[in-house]
Amino acid sequence: MANYHQKHHQRPKTKPTHFQGMVTVSKKMMEFIEQLKKAAASDANILIRGDSGTGKELAARAIHSLSPRSKGPFQALNCATLTSELMQSELFGHVKGAFTGAVADRKGLFEAAHRGTLFLDEIAEMPKDLQPRLLRVLQERHFSPVGSFKIVQSNVRLVSATHQSLRRLVEGGVFRADLMYRIRVIPLFLPRLVERERDIEILSWLFIDEFNRLGQRVISAIAADAIEAMLKYPWPGNIRELRNNIEHAYGMGEGDMLRLRDLAPEVQGAPIPQNQAIDGPSIRRQEVDEILTALREANHRKGEAAAKLGISRSKLWRKIREYGIQ
Ligand SMILES: Nc1ncnc2c1ncn2[C@@H]1O[C@H](COP(=O)(O)OP(=O)(O)O)[C@@H](O)[C@H]1O
Ligand SMILES: [Mg+2]
């Protein structure tokens, strides 16, 4: 039994929509799902824009499974985690001996995803020198692996994702306009979690049900002050951060009530340690939160955390030092 003398909050009565792993009661998300369905049915290249943890990868997989290519392969690559050379051979493959370390032929993702969908996450990080090659394979539907003149056919539908404005990057000269138009035939926008406030509760219960099934501990109520804090918190890491918090609460608390003190300190309202402001407090705080979330999620393995954040390991180290993160 929950401690019913403590103020608590019951599960909302509204039945959420479940669609391809996406769970929501928000009107904004329902609109997103409608647009996603239409977009998936076409064969156009899609660009999903949304902040970290808003469900871009989930949406990309949904697009593939709802598309006429669903029986074909789905291949994915995060463009923020590789050097230009490695990304080139990941995308286009290479032949043995093409460069030092190319000890065998390797098939690229454009070949592996033939007749299916290729998902390029963090497309804004695509190095400038690779952008013409990407444009060419999308236009011509064939390419040659690194170090080879062989022509390989590649009919792929490209789904890309980014948390940045490509238009702004085009203006800044780091992204090619012609490539932007080619990959953003249909743009889709995922709202941040704070823009779908009612989903905070709905998704908390979704994750509670998920962790309850593990059977270690069963939660049946959320303390009123915990829900209040969750509704006030800005969730810079969006749904991923919410899920991590629920998991954190399972580990930290006991009994059948999820309590305020079981949530991560920043959600409880603890201030983030401030050094001198660099980008202004809000951007800085958001970044610190994202880094903390990624580190927690990766069990403090820096390489894994960097991959989750879509930045290089050395950049993560720099930020940890700069922000004084423990
Ligand atoms: N609408 C949703 N309903 C349930 N779970 C979701 C929803 N959106 C995202 N998630 C979950 O949140 C986490 C982050 O989603 P992901 O697609 O990886 O985000 P992104 O690629 O935008 O960073 C994943 O565990 C995903 O399953
Ligand atoms: Mg992602």
Cα–Cα distance between 159 and 311 in angstroms, integer?
20
- Expressed in angstroms and rounded, the spacing between residue 116 Cα and the centre of ligand 1 is 22
Q: Residue 326: what pLDDT?
A: 65
Strands 221-223 and 8-9: antiparallel
Longest dimension (CA), the chain: 75
Counting ligands in written order, the one closest to the CA of 52 is 1
Token match 């951060």: residue?
A: 241
Atom of ligand 1 nearest to the CA of 206: 4
Q: Cβ < 6 Å from ligand 1: which residues?
A: 22-24, 50, 52-58, 203, 206, 239-240, 243
| Pair 127, 84: CB distance under 8 Å | yes
Q: Same CATH fold, 271-326 and 27-189?
A: no
Cα–Cα distance between 311 and 298 in angstroms, integer?
14
Name residues whose C-beta falls within 8 Å of residue 243's C-beta, 6 or more positions apart in sequence. 203, 207
Instruction: Supply the residue whose CA is at minimum distance from atom 5 of ligand 1.
Output: 22
Name the CATH code of domain 27-189 (choices 3.30.70.920, 3.40.50.300, 1.10.1740.10, 3.40.50.10470). Answer: 3.40.50.300
The domain limits of the chain are 27-189, 271-326
| Pair 224, 258: CB distance under 8 Å | no
Counting ligands in written order, the one closest to the CA of 238 is 1
Q: Residue 276: what pLDDT?
A: 40
| Pair 233, 266: CB distance under 8 Å | yes
Instruction: Supply the residue whose CA is at minimum distance from atom 15 of ligand 1.
Output: 55
* Terminal C-alpha separation, the chain: 38
Instruction: Supply the residue whose CA is at minimum distance from atom 16 of ligand 1.
Output: 55
Counting ligands in written order, the one closest to the CA of 48 is 1
Cα–Cα distance between 77 and 132 in angstroms, integer?
18
List, for residues 252-277, the tens digit of each pLDDT value.
889 999 999 999 999 998 775 554 43
Q: What type of residue sits at position 248? A: H
| Pair 296, 267: CB distance under 8 Å | no
Q: Is 8 helix (H, G, I), strand (E, B) or coil?
A: strand
List, for residues 49-96, the tens digit of each pLDDT value.
999 999 999 999 999 999 999 999 999 999 998 899 999 999 999 989
Q: What is the token pair recorded at 323? A: 């922000």
Q: Residue 283: what pLDDT?
A: 63
pLDDT < 50 positions in the chain: 1-2, 275-280
Rg (the chain; Cα; Å):
22
Q: At the topology level of CATH, where does 271-326 sit?
A: Arc Repressor Mutant, subunit A (1.10.10)
Strands 117-121 and 74-78: parallel
Nearest to 64 by CA among 37, 88, 89, 84: 37
Residue to mutate (ligand 1; options 23, 63, 205, 239; most atoms within 8 A of CB): 239
